Chains A and B, each alone.
Chain A
Amino acid sequence: QSALTQPASVSGSPGQSITISCTGTSSDIALFNYVSWYQQHPGTAPKLLIFDVNKRPSGGSYRFSGSKSGSAASLAISGLQAEDEADYYCSSYSSGNSWLFGGGTRLTVL
């Protein structure tokens, strides 16, 4: 039961779009459409951005979108803003009634 794989860091300039990848296996991302994405600012709890691969919670920003292909998922952020600078985590339900998280990606807005 290994963690999902994310890049350690990504960066972009205000107004640009970026994508964060999340790689899993045939036992998690590939098998279930239960991929979520969370945003975490320093010293705060994670905040749900995307669930069920590509659904936004009520009141969620349309600048965040999710997708999945095979055992990999992605989070896209459009129109980067300074407040988007944070850590981003993917998560997936996994075989055996368990959940996996990615190692996290630090987004820097240049």
Chain B
Amino acid sequence: QVQLRESGPGLLKPSETLSLTCTVSGSSITSGQYWGWIRQPPGKGLEWIGGIYPTETPYYKPSLKSRLTISVGASKKQFSLRLRSVTAADTAVYYCAKNEHNTFDIWGQGTMVVVSS
């Protein structure tokens, strides 16, 4: 059974870089599957921010493309997100999720990230 778990700092200051890791258990990050990041600001809806097929160039939400990097770890058990120059607008619960057959079928539990001075 595939499980995902996000990890990373819960609190950042404006202008810092957010780094999150999603650890995959029960499977490896293989080609043919898409691994994505979705976030949810407090009290608001879900927002796809980007994702990656292991053998392809990552895909990013256009409005975040200049600040965002998504990559797969060498072990094929982790993929990560780096979001530069964060502001309060980046405060959200960040989820990693597996996408197979064009749907996000497995989600991590989510990790809360707060950007505050």
Query: From B102, which residue of chain A is reached at the shortest CB distance?
Result: A34
The answer to whether A101 and B47 touch (CB under 8 A), given A36-B103, A51-B105, is yes
Write the B64-92 contact mask toward A (1 if CB under 8 angstroms, else 0): 00000000000000000000000000000
> Which residues from B are CB-within-8-Å of A98?
48, 59, 61-62
Bound complex: CA of A105 vs CA of B15, how far in Å? Answer: 33
> Which residues from B are CB-within-8-Å of A91?
46, 48, 103-104
Bound complex: CA of A38 vs CA of B102, how far in Å? Answer: 14
A104 close to chain B: CB less than 8 A: yes
A1 close to chain B: CB less than 8 A: yes
Size category of the A interface is: 20 to 34
Bound complex: CA of A78 vs CA of B38, how far in Å? Answer: 29
Number of interface residues of B (CB under 8 A): 23
A15 to chain B, nearest CB (A): 29
Bound complex: CA of A46 vs CA of B36, how far in Å? Answer: 14
B50 to chain A, nearest CB (A): 9
B30 close to chain A: CB less than 8 A: no
Q: Are B45 and A45 in contact (CB under 8 A)?
A: no
B35 close to chain A: CB less than 8 A: no
The answer to whether A45 and B105 touch (CB under 8 A), given A98-B48, A101-B46, A102-B45, is no
Q: Are B48 and A89 in contact (CB under 8 A)?
A: no
Binding site for B on A (CB under 8 A): 1, 3, 32, 34, 36, 38, 44-48, 51-52, 57, 89, 91, 93, 96-104
Binding site for A on B (CB under 8 A): 36, 38, 44-48, 51, 59, 61-63, 95, 99, 101-105, 107-110
Can you give 14 contacting A-B residue pairs, CB < 8 Å? Answer: A1-B62, A3-B47, A34-B102, A36-B102, A45-B108, A51-B101, A89-B45, A89-B46, A91-B46, A93-B102, A96-B62, A101-B48, A102-B45, A104-B45
